[in-house]
Amino acid sequence: MESMAHSKNRATDGKITYPPGVKEISDKISKEEMVRRLKMVVKTFMDMDQDSEEEKELYLNLALHLASDFFLKHPDKDVRLLVACCLADIFRIYAPEAPYTSPDKLKDIFMFITRQLKGLEDTKSAQFNRYFYLLENIAWVKSYNICFELEDSNEIFTQLYRTLFQVINNGHNQKVHMHMVDLMSSIICEGDSVSQELLDTVLVNLVPAHKNLNKQAYDLAKALLKRTAQAIEPYITNFFNQVLMLGKTSVSDLSEHVFDLILELYNIDSHLLLSVLPQLEFKLKSNDNDERLQVVKLLAKMFGAKDSELATQNKPLWQCYLGRFNDIHVPIRLECVKFASHCLMNHPDLAKDLTEYLKVRSHDPEEAIRHDVIVSIVTAAKKDLALVNDHLLNFVRERTLDKRWRVRKEAMMGLAQIYKKYSLQGEGGKEASKQISWIKDKLLHIYYQNSIDDRLLVERIFAQYMVPHNLETTERMKCLYYLYATLDQNAVKALNEMWKCQNMLRHHVKDLLDLVKQPKSDSYNKAVFSKVMVITRNLPDPGKAQDFVKRLAQVLEEDEKIRKQLETLVSPACSCKQAEGCVRDITKKLGSPKQPSNPFLEMVKFLLERIAPVHIDTESISALIKQVNKSIEGTADDEDEGVPTEQAIRAGLELLKVLSFTHPVSFHSAETFESLLGCLKMDDEKVAEAALQIFKNTGGKLEESFPHIKSVLLPVLQHKAKKGPPRQAKYAIHCIHAMFSNRDTHFAQIFEPLHKSVDTENFEQLITPLTTLGHLAMLAPEQFAGPLKSLVANFIVKDLLMNDRIPGKKTTKLWVPDDEVSPETLAKIQGIKLMVRWLLGVKNNQSKSGTSTLRMLTAILNSDGDLTEQGKIGKPDMSRMRLAAGCALLRLAQEPCYHQIITLEQYQLCALVINDECYQVRQAFAQKLHKGLCLLRLPLEYLAVFALCAKDPVKERRAHARQCLVKNINLRREYLKQHAAVSEKLVSLLPEYVVPYAIHLLVHDPDYVKVQDIEQLKDIKEALWFVLEILMAKNENNSHAFIRKMVENIKQTKDGQAPDDAKINEKLYTVCDVAMNIVISKSTTYSLESPKDPVLPARYFTQPDKNFSNTKNYLPAEMKSFFTPGKPKAANVLGAVNKPLSATGKLQTKLSRMETNSNASSNSDPSSPGRGKGRLDTTDVDHSENEDITMKSLTESEKPRGRKRGIATTPDDKAADSKPKRGRKKASTASEEAEESWGAGDSSLGDTTLETEDEQNSPPKRGRRGRPPKSAAPKEESPAKGRRGRKKAVRPPEELEEEEQEEEEEEDAGSENMEVKPKAGRGRGGRRAATRAEVADTAGESVESTPPKRRGRPPKNQQAARKPAGGRTRGASSQENESEEDMETSQENVEEEEDEQEDDSQHSSPKVRRKNPRRERR
C-alpha cells in the first residue's frame, strides 16, 4: 500500500515516463507516428507482469495519461484499439487495485473498452488478433469486476453483454466463444445481483424471433446460462414470479414471451426453472382461456421433447396437465390431443397415463378433437406399432362408426395404413401382424353401414391396402386367397356383398350403354332417367350425382370413343390391364387441364372405380385355381401364412364360388374346369359342394365349348344325385338343369331308379333320394306328374309321415344338435319339403293337393309336431317337425295360388309358431318370415306376425323382431318411392296397411280370453305399440291420420272370421280402442284429414255398416293411465341385437345369421327412410355428438313386458298337475270331408306326453300358448353399452331376390350356428284352435276330429332358477346386423333355392341345456 501511495504521489508531479525508444505521445504528432509509438507502449505493457513494482511505479503517469479523454475519444480506431489494449494490460498489471480512482473515469474507461470490442465482429480484419487479445485479457483478468462498486455498474455490464451478443457470429472460433462466456459469467457469478435489464439482455436471445436471426447469440446465451445456472436462477424465478403470479408485465419487455422463454430455459437446464414450474401448475388453472392455452402449448413441448424427464420429475404438474385433456375450451383439448402423438413416440412409458384421457377425447363432442385423437394414435402406430397399446388402437376402431364422415374416414384410412405396413408388408414380424389381425375384419364390417361414402371407402381400401391391385397377378391372388381364408364370417359376407354390389352396378352401366344406342322417344327418356336414378344411388351425394350421371349419359350419346371404352370396361371379358387402360383413357378425355377441380370428373372416377374389374379376370381365376391346387397338393405355404391347409382349400373354393356369381366368364377355360373336376372327387363335402355350385354358375356353355369335360362331369353328377350327401345331390340336379340341353333324359335316368327304390327300411339312406326327388319335382313337375302325385300320397304321407317307426329318446330337451336328431325325423322333414317343392313346381291347386297339404301341415302344428299322437316321437324331434311345418306354410304362402287357399285359422296357427316354446324354433321361423317379407313375396298380413314377438321373454328375440319390422317397413316405403307405377298394389305394399292385420291377429290371440282384463289388454297394447312405434316414427304423408281413420273404419265393421260372434266383435272393438288410444297419445297430427280413404281386407272384416255408428268406448277406465304421451322413436336396435351374452362355463355358440341385408343401392340417398335417423338414433346419447351409436340397455319397446299373473309355481304345484287336459274341440267341416286327402287312418290316439321335469324349459301351471315366461329371460341379456353400428340400408326386393341363390347353403350352415338360449324359460305356441284333422284316404273317408290339446305357456312372472345365457363375442353378435345371403342369381333359380331355406335351420343347434316346462293341456 505504501508503494501504491508513493506511486500516486509520483503521479501528481505530472511527469510521464515512456518506455525506452518511445517519444512523447501527444496530439502534435501524426496518426501514423502515434500508432507506431502506441504499439511500442502496448509491447511494453504486454511484457510487464504484476511483480514489476518499479516499472509499475515508473509508468503510472503513462497509465493515467492513456486514460485521458484525448485517447478515449480519439477519432482513429487503430489508436483507440491500441489504447484499449494498453488499458487492459494496465488493469492486469495493477490488479487488484486499478490506478484510476475516479468512478466516472472508470466508467468511461470500461465503456471505451466495450466499444472497442465491437471490432471482434470482423474476423477478417487485419486488427482482429488485437481485438481478440483485448477480449482474452479482460476475460482472463476479470477486469470488469472492478465495476461492481460503481453506481453505474449495471449500465456498464448491460452494454458489455449487448455488445458481445451483437458481435458474436459464425466466423468466431471456440476460443472467442469461451472468452466471452468467461467474461460474462464472472460478472453474474461474482456480482451481488443481476438486474432485470441485464437478465433481459441475456434472455432476449432465447426468444424465437431473435434465435432465428442470430443462432450464435443463442448459443452464447445458452452456454452462459448453463455456466451460471445456480447464480442466475433466483433472478429468473423472480422475473417469472413478477410476470406470471403478480401479473406485472411492465417489469420487462420480454413479458409477452414468458412461455417461449420457459421452454428454452427448460431445454437449456431444467434447474433454472425449479421454482417456476409450480407457477405453471397454477397457470394451468387460470380462468383466462388464452393463458391456459399458452401454458398447455408450452407444457406439450416440454413433456413431449425427446429427452424430457419432466413427467417423471414433476408428477403433480404432469397430472395437472393431463387434466387439461378435459378442459372446457376446445382449442386447449385440441392442443392436448395433438401433443399425444409426440408423447407416444418419444415417451412410450407415458402411454398408460394418456390412454384413459384419449379414451374420453375419442368421444369428444368436437369433431376436430375426435379426428386428431385418431391422427395422434395412427401417427405413433405407423412409426412403431409397439408405441400404441391395444386400447389406443381400439379407440381408432370405435371411431370407424363415428357420426361424422371426416372422423370415420380418418379412422378407416389409419387402420388401413397400419394393416398394410404390419400385415401385408410384415414390417413388425409375426407378433405385430397378429396384434392387428382384427383390422381386416373390422374394415370389411364397415361395408354394412348405411352411408354410400363408407362403402366406397371400404372398396377403395380393399383395392389399395388389403389386396393392392397393382400387385402382379399371382401375388395378388395369393394375397386374396389367404386374406379370404382368415377373414371372419361377417367380413367374408361383406366382401361377397361388395363384389355383388360392384357387379350389379356394372350391369346397370351396361344397361345404360344399351339404352343410349336406341332411338330417342318418350319411353327412351323414361328408361334412361330410371337407369340414371339407379346408378345415382350408388354414388356419393346422390343429389349432385344425379345431374352428373345425366351429363354422362349425354356424353355417351355423343362420344362414341368414350362409349366404346366404357363398353369394354363393363364387358365380362375385360381384363385387369384393359380396365386400367380404359379408366385412364376415359378420365383423360373427360378431364381438362384448365379446370383442375372438376366435380363431374370426380363423380365419373367414383363410378369407374366401382365398376372396373381391377382384381378379377380370366388370368386371375387361373392363378387362384393354381393356388388352390398347391394347397391340395401340399406345396403351398399355408402354415407359414397361419392357415391350416384344410381351411385354406375350403376358403379357396368358397372364394371361387363367390366369384363364379360375379365373374362367370372368367372361369371359361379347360384348366379351370379340370381343376374343379378334381375338387368334386375330394372327401371334403364343403369343397365338393362349392365346386358343384361353381359348375352350376359358370357351366352354361360347357356342353358346347368343352365336350370332353361334359363327358367326365355328367356321370359324376348323376352319381352324386343318387348317392351323394343331400346338399351335393341338390346341387348336382341344379347343375344338370343349368348346363345340359337334353336335361329331361338325364332327369329321367335319375328319377326312375330313385322313385322305385324309396322305402322306410333305412331312414339315413332315404334323405338323399327325397332331396333329389324334391328338386326334380320343383324343376320338372310336369315330366314326372303322375309318379310324383302317387309318391306324395302313398309314400310321403301314408308311409312316412303317418307312422312313427322308431321311438324317440325320452329327453326333456326341446332342441338337440343335428347329429342327435333321429334319422326318421330328418327323413320326415325332407318329405315335407318334397311336398312343398312339388307344389311350388306345379303352381296350381286343381287337384286340391295344396289344400290337403295345408291341412297336413296345420295338423302337425296342432299336434305339437307329433302327428300320430302316439307319444313315440321325442321332444327335440317334435320341435323340428313344428319348425318344418311352420316354414313350409310360409313357403306356400309366397305362391299366390296357395296363399288364396290358406284359411284365416291356418294363418293364425302359422303365426303362433313365432311364440313356440322352443327358442330355436322361434328364431329360425322369424328368419324365414323376415326373408319372405324382404323379398316382397309374403303377403303383408305376415308382417303383422312380428307383433306377437312383443311377448317373447328373450330381449334379443324382441330386438331382432323389431329390427325386422324396421327393415321391412323401410323397404316397402323405399320401394313405393322408386316404383310410382305400383300404386294399384298399394294395399299389399303400404306398410300402414299392416295395422288391420295386426288388430285381427291380436283379436284371435288365444291368450286374449277376457275382453276387459287389464293385464291381457296391457299385453295387447304392448303388441300394437311394438308395430305402431315404428310405423309412427315418421309421419310421412300424414300417415298418423291415415292409421286413425283405418282404426275408426274397422270399428264400423264386424270380424270377417266370426261375424256373428258377439264376444269376438267386442274383442275387435276393444283392440281398436287400444290402437286408437296409442295413436292419440303418441301423435299430435292424428286429427288431421286422412290423405286417402283406407281399404280394409275383405277376408278379415265385413263391409262397414253405413247405418251403424260405433262411437262407444270399449276400454275399462283404468286402462287410460297406461297410454303415456310422447313422440315415438325410430330407435336403432342394433345395440340390442349385438349384445354379448355371458355364460360361465358354457359352450359359446354363434347366433344364427339374421337376414338383415345391407348396402342396397336403393338406400344410398341419405334422405331415404332406410337410413333411419342417421347414426344418432338411440336412447342413450351422451352430451357429445360423437356418441353416435351407443345403445341403452333397452329402447322403450324392448323393455321386458312381463305381467303379474299369479305367484311363481313351485315344483310341487307342477307335480300336482301332471295329467294333461284337453282343450276346445274343433268340428270338422263338410268341405274338409269332401276334399281329397293324403292318407287315412284312425288318429284318435292318446296324448301321452313326457311328464318328467324337463331340463331345458320348465313352466309352471296356467300355460296356454307356448310362449316362454318373460321373467325367465336371463338378466345378463341387457344389450351391452357401447356397441356401435348404424342402421343398415334396406335392400329393394329386386336385389334381394338375386341373393336367394345360396340361402339354403347359408342356412344349412346356419343351423349349426343356431343361437342357444340356456334356461330362458319356455312355452309353446298356440292353443289348439283345432284338433289335428284326421287324414282321410283317397277313397273319401270322412274326417274324424280329435279333441284338441291346449299348449302351455307359463305365466310371465315365473321365477324359476335360471342360468346365465350363452356368451357371445362382439364379433359373433355382429352377425345379426349383416346380410344373410352371399350371392346373386337369376330369377329362374330363386324358386328352386328358396325352398331349401328350411333344410337347415331345423337341423342343428349347439348343445346347451335349458329348463323344460311341462306342457299343461286343458
**Tens-digit pLDDT profile for residues 357-379:** 888 888 999 999 999 999 999 99
pLDDT of 169 reads 85
- Does residue 1065 register a pLDDT over 70? yes
pLDDT of 1405 reads 38
Of 425, 424, 426, give the one whose Cα is nearest residue 443. Answer: 424
| Alpha-carbon 1197 to chain mean position | 25
pLDDT exceeding 70 applies to what percent of the chain?
75
pLDDT of 916 reads 93
**Can you tell me which residue has the cell 509508468?**
59
More confident residue, 470 or 788: 470
Predicted confidence band at 1156 (pLDDT cuts at 50, 70, 90)?
A: very low
More confident residue, 1027 or 782: 1027
- Does residue 675 register a pLDDT over 80? yes
pLDDT of 62 reads 64
pLDDT, average across residues 1329-1348: 35
- Does residue 164 register a pLDDT over 70? yes
- Does residue 1176 register a pLDDT over 50? no
Predicted confidence band at 60 (pLDDT cuts at 50, 70, 90)?
A: low
* Structural contact between residues 760 and 766, judged by C-beta atoms closer than 8 angstroms: yes
Q: Please give the Cα distance from 1100 to 825 (Å, whole number).
A: 36
Pick left, alpha or beta for residue 1229 (phi over 0 → left; psi -120 to 50 → alpha; otherwise beta). Answer: beta
Q: Please give the Cα distance from 217 to 169 (Å, whole number).
A: 7
Q: Please give the Cα distance from 1211 to 930 (Å, whole number).
A: 38
Pick left, alpha or beta for residue 865 (phi over 0 → left; psi -120 to 50 → alpha; otherwise beta). Answer: left
- Does residue 1417 register a pLDDT over 50? no
Q: What is the pLDDT of residues 1182-1201, one digit of tens each?
A: 333 333 333 333 333 343 33
- Does residue 970 register a pLDDT over 80? yes
The amino acid that residue 1299 corresponds to is: E
Residues 6+ apart with CB under 8 A from 104: none
The amino acid that residue 409 corresponds to is: K
Q: What is the pLDDT of residues 614-638, one digit of tens each?
A: 888 888 999 998 888 888 888 877 7
**Can you tell me which residue has the cell 398408460?**
352
Q: Please give the Cα distance from 232 to 194 (Å, whole number).
A: 7
More confident residue, 212 or 1223: 212
- Does residue 346 register a pLDDT over 70? yes
Question: What is the 3 state secondary structure string of 1074-1092?
Answer: HHHHHHHHHCCCCCCCCCC
Nine-digit cell at 46? 504486454
Q: Please give the Cα distance from 737 to 779 (Å, whole number).
A: 8
Among 671-675, 908-912, 969-973, top mean pLDDT goes to: 908-912
Q: 318-338: b or e for each residue (b if 16 or more CB lie within 10 Å)?
A: bebbbebbebeeebbbbbbbb
Of 881, 939, 937, give the one whose Cα is nearest residue 913. Answer: 881
pLDDT, average across residues 74-87: 74
What is the chain's mean pLDDT, rounded? 75
pLDDT of 1187 reads 37
Q: What is the pLDDT of residues 556-574, one digit of tens each?
A: 888 888 888 888 888 888 8
- Does residue 416 register a pLDDT over 90? yes
Q: What is the pLDDT of residues 1052-1064, one digit of tens each?
A: 999 999 999 999 9
Of 1400, 1301, 1391, give the one whose Cα is nearest residue 838. Answer: 1391
* Structural contact between residues 382 and 421, judged by C-beta atoms closer than 8 angstroms: yes
pLDDT exceeding 90 applies to what percent of the chain?
18
- Does residue 1138 register a pLDDT over 50? no
Residues 6+ apart with CB under 8 A from 724: 688, 732, 768
pLDDT of 1144 reads 32
- Does residue 234 register a pLDDT over 90? no
Other beta carbons less than 10 A from residue 984's beta carbon: 7
Among 145-159, 588-602, 844-858, top mean pLDDT goes to: 844-858
pLDDT of 487 reads 92
Q: What is the pLDDT of residues 819-862, one digit of tens each?
A: 888 888 888 898 899 889 888 888 887 778 888 899 999 999 99
Alpha carbon of 1138 to those of 440, 1154, 1280, 1376: distances in Å? Answer: 20, 11, 8, 7
Predicted confidence band at 902 (pLDDT cuts at 50, 70, 90)?
A: very high
Q: What is the pLDDT of residues 176-214, one digit of tens each?
A: 878 888 878 887 888 788 888 888 888 888 888 887 888
DSSP 3-state of 1222: strand
Alpha carbon of 1117 to those of 1008, 1064, 1073, 1074: distances in Å? Answer: 19, 21, 12, 12
Predicted confidence band at 417 (pLDDT cuts at 50, 70, 90)?
A: very high
Q: What is the pLDDT of residues 935-958, one digit of tens each?
A: 999 999 999 999 999 989 999 999
Q: What is the pLDDT of residues 1009-1023, one digit of tens each?
A: 998 888 999 999 999
Predicted confidence band at 1081 (pLDDT cuts at 50, 70, 90)?
A: confident
pLDDT of 1363 reads 38
pLDDT of 528 reads 86
pLDDT of 67 reads 65
* Structural contact between residues 696 and 1301, judged by C-beta atoms closer than 8 angstroms: no
pLDDT, average across residues 1066-1095: 85
pLDDT, average across residues 1293-1298: 45
Decide: pTM greater than 0.85.
no
- Does residue 1 register a pLDDT over 60? no
pLDDT of 1265 reads 46
pLDDT of 464 reads 92
Predicted confidence band at 649 (pLDDT cuts at 50, 70, 90)?
A: confident
Q: What is the pLDDT of residues 720-748, one digit of tens each?
A: 888 888 888 898 988 888 888 887 888 88
Other beta carbons less than 10 A from residue 727's beta carbon: 24
Alpha carbon of 56 to those of 106, 378, 688, 1363: distances in Å? Answer: 19, 75, 115, 109
Q: Choose the weakest-confidence range: 371-375, 960-964, 999-1003, 1314-1318.
A: 1314-1318
Residues 6+ apart with CB under 8 A from 209: none
- Does residue 289 register a pLDDT over 50? yes
- Does residue 1317 register a pLDDT over 60? no
Of 922, 936, 941, give the one whose Cα is nearest residue 967. Answer: 936
* Structural contact between residues 1266 and 1353, judged by C-beta atoms closer than 8 angstroms: yes
pLDDT of 1203 reads 36
- Does residue 1304 register a pLDDT over 70? no
More confident residue, 1169 or 230: 230
* Structural contact between residues 272 and 229, judged by C-beta atoms closer than 8 angstroms: yes
Q: What is the pLDDT of residues 245-280, one digit of tens each?
A: 777 777 777 777 777 888 777 777 777 777 777 777
- Does residue 423 register a pLDDT over 80? yes
Q: Choose the weakest-confidence range: 21-30, 168-177, 232-241, 1018-1027.
A: 21-30
pLDDT of 756 reads 77
pLDDT, average across residues 518-542: 84
Q: Choose the weakest-confidence range: 18-22, 80-84, 327-331, 1130-1134.
A: 1130-1134
